[in-house]
């Protein structure tokens, strides 16, 4: 039996720079791996069997863990997913599970195939999870350059009940942003998220929560990915924990910035 953590991500910044001929969009983003995680347990089995403690998550061929195992040709393993990362929250939970499955099965079965191309077929965010840490990314999100590690600011995640479909969020964009280039991201004042405008227009409460995080002392606050999670980064654990208690009616999680690569 092997247990691995499958970590979530946030986006420090996310610009959508154009529509591509293949139907996807080009991005310019800064990804950050964080400590909030699902746990995947791999055990021997005579067939491929995926289970999940969250019964709202499909465990058939729609599940990215199933797709990842099939993409590697592995059909003799049971994988149990303990879900902590909400889906539809812009935290990359499914993509992270897929990357963790690719890395773990590749190790268990001593596979030699490069994982990056398989990862990108599974989803645009999956290649980042093979790398981890803090990363600047372009293309669909797979052209990855590691950048200096982010400061270890304690994070508060506000997890609204409203879920956002990534495909719908892309369709709701009214304009594209020119890329700023990697150097611009040395300066936090350049961090933006192009999905905030359309998603906040639909769910005004999310904008209010972002503003509330700033009012509670956050050094930085923004939506993650295409939403709906709102993240605040605080100078210390005590101000972060005080802010958490100001959100009694919505699910919140605390997390830490994870530094360095996680690949075994």
Is 61 annotated as catalytic?
no
Q: What is the DSSP letter of 151?
A: P
Q: Whole-angstrom Cα distance, residue 220 to residue 26?
A: 25
Give the nearest distance from C-beta 217 to ligand C5P in angstroms. 33
DSSP assignments along 41-79, one per residue: EEEE-SS-EEEESSTTS--STTSHHHHHHHHTT--SEEE
Q: Say which residue the tokens 């905030």 belong to.
A: 196
Is 9 annotated as catalytic?
yes
Count the neighbouring beta carbons within 10 Å of the beta carbon of residue 159. 21
Binding positions for ligand C5P, 99-158, rule CB under 6 A: 123-125, 140-141
Binding positions for ligand C5P, 8-37, rule CB under 6 A: 24-25, 27
Q: Which member of 67, 125, 194, 210 is catalytic?
A: 125
Output 131 or 218, the one with its CB closest to ligand C5P: 131
* Contact status: 167 vs ligand C5P (CB under 6 A): yes
Number of helical (H) and strand (E) elements in the chain, helices listed first: 8, 10
Per rule CB under 6 A, count of chain residues that contact ligand C5P? 11
Options 7, 12, 136, 170; binder of ligand C5P; rule CB under 6 A: 170
Token duo for residue 104? 């773990």
Give the nearest distance from C-beta 48 to ligand C5P in angstroms. 21
Catalytic residues, which ones? 9, 125
Binding site residues, ligand C5P, CB under 6 A: 24-25, 27, 123-125, 140-141, 166-167, 170
């Amino acid at each position: 039996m092997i247990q691995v953590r499958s970590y979530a991500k946030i986006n420090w910044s996310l610009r959508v720079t154009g529509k591509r001929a293949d139907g996807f969009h080009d991005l310019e983003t800064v990804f950050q791996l964080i400590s909030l995680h699902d746990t995947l347990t791999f055990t021997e089995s005579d067939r491929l069997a995926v289970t999940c403690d969250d019964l709202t998550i499909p465990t058939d061929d729609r599940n990215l863990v199933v797709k990842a195992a099939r993409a590697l040709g592995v059909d003799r393993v049971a994988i149990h997913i303990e879900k902590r990362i909400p889906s539809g929250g812009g935290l990359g939970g499914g993509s992270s599970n897929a990357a963790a499955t690719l890395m773990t099965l590749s190790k268990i079965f001593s596979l030699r195939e490069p994982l990056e191309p398989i990862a990108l077929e599974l989803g645009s965010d999956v290649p980042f999870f093979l790398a981890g840490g803090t990363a600047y990314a372009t293309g669909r999100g797979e052209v990855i350059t590691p950048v200096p590690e982010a400061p270890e600011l304690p994070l508060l995640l506000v997890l609204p009940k409203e879920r956002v479909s990534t495909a719908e969020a892309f369709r709701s964009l009214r304009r594209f942003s020119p890329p700023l280039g990697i150097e611009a991201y040395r300066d936090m004042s350049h961090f933006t998220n192009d999905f905030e405008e359309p998603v906040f227009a639909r769910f005004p409460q999310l904008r209010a929560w972002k503003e509330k995080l700033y009012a509670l002392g956050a050094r930085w606050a923004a939506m993650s990915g295409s939403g709906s999670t709102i993240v605040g980064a605080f100078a210390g654990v005590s101000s972060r924990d005080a802010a958490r208690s100001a959100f009694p009616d919505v699910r919140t999680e605390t997390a830490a910035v994870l530094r360095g690569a996680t690949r075994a």
